[in-house]
Amino acid sequence: MNSPSIAPDMPDAAARRAALFHESPRDIAERIALGLVWAMVPKRIGRLPNMARVWLRDTFLGSGSLPDPRMAGPGGIAGIARGLSVETLLSAYKRTLYPWGHVGPFKWLSTDERCVLFFNELHIAKRLRRQMRQNEYRVTFDADFEGVVSACAERRPGRFHLTWLRPKLMRAYADLYDAGHAHSFEVWNKDGALAGGGYGVAVNGVFFTESQFSRESNTSKMGFTLFNWHLAKWGFALNDGKDPTPTINEMNFRMIPRS
């Protein structure tokens, strides 16, 4: 795999963001319908009373401050995210809160346990090592943040399209990127096409991975592996992946109590 590089800012970023961070009326209707179905699945329906309590408290009492993550109920829902400014998001991440939500206002989430990687425990599968040595892809950092965020929210073949990464949240992460607090990694194939990537937020020596995508086999794994190696080199303490997934479990992320 070729060495990573950091590309300069792309021109016309504002216009490109406006085009990429977009949701059609059909997409909105589909997301709402699928989001309601998702919430009614038996293993999640028990979260609805807590969601109603949080919503009512916010509606009638209101609060200009962030919720206490220790008060989060089922599903980790701690409060309603009314503001997504750079300052608010940085304060939230410092308190282990992060924004999320398919339908309605965004919520502040903070689960009791987090799936994290201590970099000295990073595991690279043999098959992935072999693929990386073939040098078929090039990895960059912060070369196409907008393209990565948009791709993380795109449709996946053979799956229902339900994403929490809505245009408002995309723009909020782009603001964090502009302020130097959000970063991306990109994986490019030999044709120069974006084949995989991911992004997240850097706060106080911790990187919070938000989302990844792959358009070709194992591309996000390759980029994520190299990115984690560099995070360690840059002095980060750990990578917080929030919830376990097959990809991060394979890399030796493990559950620890919320600090």
User: Are 93 and 183 contained in the same domain?
Assistant: no
Query: Higher-confidence residue: 75 or 93?
Result: 93
Domain boundary among 56, 78, 112: 112
Q: What is the mean pLDDT of residues 63-72?
A: 84
User: pLDDT tens, 134-184?
Assistant: 999 999 999 999 999 999 999 888 777 789 999 999 999 999 999 999 999
10 has a pLDDT exceeding 90? no
58: domain CATH number is 3.30.70.3550
97-146: pLDDT as tens digits: 999 999 989 999 999 999 999 999 999 999 999 999 999 999 999 999 99
Identify the domain boundary among 95, 112, 129: 112
| 4 belongs to a structural domain | no
9 within some domain? no
Residue burial 163-178, b: 16+ Cβ < 10 Å; e: rest: bbbbbebbebbbebbe
Q: Which CATH number is 242's domain given?
A: 3.40.630.70
Residue 54 forms part of a structural domain: yes
Of residues 40 and 196, more confidence is placed in 196
| Domain edge (last residue) among 45, 78, 112 | 112
Q: How many domains does the chain have?
A: 2
Q: Which residue has the higher pLDDT, 21 or 60?
A: 21
34 plus 58 within the same structural domain: yes
| pLDDT single digits (tens) 140-154 | 999 999 999 999 999
Residue 254 pLDDT exceeds 60: yes
Give yes or no: residues 209 and 86 share one domain. Answer: no
Does the residue 8 lie in any domain?
Answer: no
pLDDT the model gives residue 57: 77
Pair 85, 137 in one domain: no
Residue 78 belongs to a domain: yes
CA 220, chain centre distance (Å): 13
pLDDT for 8 equals 44
User: For 226-248, what is each residue's pLDDT tens digit?
Assistant: 999 999 999 999 999 999 999 99
Per the model's pLDDT, the better-predicted residue between 6 and 144 turns out to be 144
In a domain, 49, yes or no: yes
Which pLDDT value is given to residue 63? 64
Residues 216-227: tens digit of each pLDDT: 999 999 999 999
Cα–Cα distance, 57 to 78 (Å, whole number): 11
Contact assessment for residue 99 and residue 89, using Cβ atoms and an 8 Å cutoff: yes
Residues 158 and 93 in one domain: no
- Which range of residues forms the domain containing residue 130? 115-257
Structure confidence by residue, pLDDT tens digits, 24-66 = 999 999 999 999 888 888 888 888 787 777 877 777 777 668 9
Q: Who wins on pLDDT, 256 or 40?
A: 256
Q: Is residue 122 part of a domain?
A: yes
Classify residue 3: in a domain, yes or no. Answer: no
Task: Say yes or no: 83 and 99 in one domain.
Answer: yes
